[in-house]
Amino acid sequence: MNNNFFKNKRIVVTGGAGFLGKYVTEGLKKRGCENILVPTIDEYDLVKQGDIERMYDDMKPDVVIHLAAVVGGIGANREHPGKFFYENLMMGVQLIEQARLRNIEKFVAIGTICAYPKFTPVPFKEDDLWAGYPEETNAPYGLAKKMLLVQSQAYRAEYGFNSIFLLPVNLYGPGDNFDPASSHVIPALIKKCVDAIDDGKDYIECWGTGKASREFIYAADAAEGILLATELYNGNEPVNIGTGFEITIKDLVEKIAKLTGFTGDIKWDASRPDGQPRRCLDTTKAKQYFGFEAKTGFDEGLKTTIEWYKKNRQ
């Protein structure tokens, strides 16, 4: 780890106050970075070009790590496809364009696993990104983020602009979003199980059939991958950030029930969508290009997350 990379640089982390952002800013502090700048939504609406320009003028970054995104689970994606497309696209495209105009040293664009085609062969290889249309429920979000890859590659080719594109898999960990309206599957299930125990309920309801599989990465590990890439990777290929392990939603629910101590029934609502059938990443490139491997075991990460939720729930 070359800590000197971050030492005297001004690093802007969009979304730095969010779930992943807190781990990234923490990681930057550990690396001796003294100028970590986090634009907050109250001060800068990064969907608007004027606010983006003002943010760059105020913060004068050397490097931008763009984590800010409008995200949610399947339900939120189905309710707001237009908003998710427009806001994610406009934020990313304008941040990169203004960074180029200001000759910023490096731009780190964070993509999404939702950019992969619906029926990508498992494990997902970066070369398969263009082999089909994404899963319908989150395609607008996935495609908006994927355009930042196109832009990064086009800007590198035409302007020599150093922009890299990373694809982290589903995140989880302490500090996650547990709001049922917008949370992802792990916090949603932890909340269901813990609340059912509190309320003395003898069953929980889950979406879909449980047959779909997912891969998850502990947020602190994902942050480490992003920082290693910021430090060491300057290529035009997209790179997966993951663990290379998959679990079916059915097995996941049973595991979370066991770890939380919930012993009631699990009822499946098959009228609800499963989303993409399988998700599991090939993580070879991250290891090869910048030496990244996830460290946190899944059970260990889940236990820590459950403990955090129990302590911090209202």
Task: Mention every residue, 6+ apart, whose C-beta is less than 8 A from residue 76.
Answer: 84, 181, 182
Planar angle of CA 164, 104, 40, nearest 5 degrees: 85
**If DSSP codes are grouped into helix, strand and coil, which group holds residue 260?**
helix
- DSSP E strand stretches across the chain: 10-14, 35-37, 63-66, 106-110, 163-168, 170-172, 203-207, 213-214, 216-218, 239-241, 247-248, 265-269
Q: Is the dihedral of CA 203, 209, 211, 215 positive or negative?
A: negative
Q: Is residue 141 annotated as part of the catalytic site, yes or no?
A: yes
Alpha carbons 78 and 59: distance in angstroms, whole number: 35
Distance CA 183, CA 73 (A): 6
Residue 214 contacts residue 298 (beta carbons within 8 Å)? no
d(CA 98, CA 55): 10
Q: Which of 23, 56, 141, 309 is catalytic?
A: 141
User: First CA to last CA across the chain, in angstroms?
Assistant: 39
Cα 89 from Cα 200, distance rounded (Å)? 44
Give the Cβ contact number of residue 64 at 10 Å.
Answer: 29
Q: Quick check: 221 and 294 in contact, CB under 8 A?
A: yes
Q: How many helices (H) and strands (E) does the chain have?
A: 11, 12
Q: Which residues have a catalytic role annotated?
A: 141
